[in-house]
Structure 1
Amino acid sequence: MFSLIVCSVDRTDHLARLFRSLATQDFTHFEVILVDQNEDDRLVPLVSAHQDRFAIRHIRSPRGLSRARNTGIASASQPLIAFPDDDCWYRPDTLTLASAIFEADPALGIATGRTLDADGLPSVSPTGQEACAITRRNYLSCGNSNGIFLRRSLIETLGGFDERLGVGASTPFQSGEEADLLLRAIASGATLGYHPHLIVHHDQVVAANNPRRIERAAKYGAGFGALLRKHGFSPGHLAYRLLRPLAGMVLALARGDLAEARYKRAWAYGIWRGWTGWRRLGSKS
């Protein structure tokens, strides 16, 4: 019932962890579509080691996360699709729970869950502990791409991911592709639900001592600013999103925390750059 689209570049150990978790799934009706963006054959031994444990299709794609996911969607054969990151991992019951959610609600187009680290703490984006419908007001707190499960018919209707957004895109907008998908689904009239008992694991990604933290903030902020512009959020909403990191910058400066101040400034600068850059790009809906 599931096509699991795994896009991978520059990783083997983490991908092996994901594959080990898939081999222990209670629910076994799934295929893995491994979209390989490496320029060498480093993943071939890993595929060979697991292809007798579950179905794997190993295909290639140029770099760019949204482009790779669209390549995987085009190859998907099952009615439900998910996008596990190559450095996340599933619980043994993850697919069992996802299947039950869709079986219980035939009208449901997208189900999202929580992403937690090995200690059970939110690791990629803050998520609540109460189930809810996903709307334009709460989409940011209702999961991220590795916790999105959806019907293939819906994503084909939506046209897949916007390849101008996301890590590896040819634009400055290096995030926002999954939120864009959720917002387009909401605009289409689809039913989306957040289910906190549906859990995917992922390590913490923004450690305070990460030397690339500021660079990442600027790139991801640009994707967020572009997302706000693309989906017609108001200038007042933009101002609110800018004031939050700017206020954090001021507080960090008051504490003498220059690294945190630079991080908050990078977020604000990125959001503004994305908002103005998307306008110049001339977006399509």
Structure 2
Amino acid sequence: MVVATRDRRDRLFETLPQHRAPIILVDNASTDGSPEAIGAAFPDIGVVRLDRNAGAAARNEGVRRATTPYVAFADDDSFWTEGSLARAAELFDAHPRLGLLTGQVLIGPSSRPDPISAAQAAAPLAAPRGAPGPSVLGFLSCAVVVRREAFLDAGGFEPRLFVYGEEALLAMDMTAAGWWLCYEPSLTVRHFPLPAGRDRSARDRIEARNRLLTALLRRPPTVVARNLASTVRQSPVAVWDVARALPWALRHRRRLPPAVEASLLRLEHPPPATPHLPG
């Protein structure tokens, strides 16, 4: 289990005791004394202290240090329910091409289902023959288990994307490499996000930047153009962020296989629902 954190010491004291797997805690250069406090209170947890905030890519370091063939991710405000990780290991053992499993996410004390779980269950993608569940081309980082080999071969999370929407590029690259990415509702994550209060405009800017950068890195020009137009509408300043990163993005541009691009288009433009006619 890899848990990435930054300046969330109090939340870690709530969630870490809920985990039922060995933990590698990767600390993103916290300033609140998290590494020292967690190391003292939970001596069995391996604490990795980064000297800078690496964002989502902090998880890469945790996976590199893991010694198990499968690695689960959790955030400092989430944990997997009992039995979920054992079931995930069974599915990975049974399906050698399975690279990633994502599960159902329940939010807050009321266990409200996250809408992304329903979307994943109903995604209009053709699952490979023999796959353990519906195929997905996106996920929440706090709700996945990965095959360590597949994750590392795909390069893990791209450091340039930092946070917010970093999952999309990894999902594309793992799928392009031939790995199965599947949703399995019997795997359950409890998620306790903090109440609203963060800078929403900053998050919108980063999300818009990452969507456009991801399109530049992997998608055809028509899709890039659509993303550019939507970014201009949503967050014009994000366009300047992308412009500064453009030389890097073009150097690392690699088009997806046609089948993966077709699946992405199916998600973005799903076929209309067939009306139910009385018999």
| Bucket of the pairwise TM-score, normalised by the shorter protein | 0.7 to 0.9
Match of 1:73 in 2: 63
Task: Using the TM superposition, give the Cα deviation of residue 188 of structure 1 relative to its aligned residue in structure 2, in angstroms.
Answer: 0.9
2:14 paired with 1:12: no
Letter in 2 for 1:132: P
Task: Using the TM superposition, give the Cα deviation of residue 10 of structure 1 relative to its aligned residue in structure 2, in angstroms.
Answer: 0.6
What stretches of structure 2 of length at least 5 have no aligned partner?
A: 123-132, 255-279
Question: For 1:133, what is the secondary structure of its paired residue?
Answer: coil
Task: Using the TM superposition, give the Cα deviation of residue 241 of structure 1 relative to its aligned residue in structure 2, in angstroms.
Answer: 8.1
Match of 1:219 in 2: 206
CA distance in 2, matches of 1:228, 1:205: 30
Pick the aligned partner of 2:167 from 154, 171, 178.
Answer: 178
| Corresponding residue pairs, total | 238
Match of 2:188 in 1: 199
TM-score using structure 2 length = 0.73
Give the 5 Å matches for 1:72-111.
72-111=62-101
8 Å Cα contact 1:123/1:205 also seen in 2: no
Match of 1:152 in 2: 148
Question: For 1:224, what is the secondary structure of its paired residue?
Answer: helix
Match of 2:277 in 1: none
2:120 paired with 1:128: yes
Letter in 2 for 1:48: A
Task: Using the TM superposition, give the Cα deviation of residue 243 of structure 1 relative to its aligned residue in structure 2, in angstroms.
Answer: 4.9
Match of 2:222 in 1: 235
CA distance in 2, matches of 1:181, 1:114: 20
Runs of 4+ in 1 over 4 A off after TM superposition: 122-126, 204-207, 240-246, 270-278
Task: Using the TM superposition, give the Cα deviation of residue 32 of structure 1 relative to its aligned residue in structure 2, in angstroms.
Answer: 0.9
TM-score using structure 1 length = 0.72
8 Å Cα contact 1:219/1:270 also seen in 2: no
Match of 1:262 in 2: none
Match of 2:176 in 1: 187
Letter in 1 for 2:102: T
Structure 1 residues 99 and 191: alpha-carbon distance in aligned structure 2, compared to 1, 3 A threshold: same
Structure 1 residues 114 and 182: alpha-carbon distance in aligned structure 2, compared to 1, 3 A threshold: same
CA distance in 1, matches of 2:145, 2:78: 15
CA distance in 2, matches of 1:195, 1:242: 35
Alignment root-mean-square deviation, CA: 2.9
Structure 1 residues 188 and 103: alpha-carbon distance in aligned structure 2, compared to 1, 3 A threshold: same
Structure 1 residues 39 and 158: alpha-carbon distance in aligned structure 2, compared to 1, 3 A threshold: same
8 Å Cα contact 1:124/1:204 also seen in 2: no
8 Å Cα contact 1:116/1:202 also seen in 2: yes
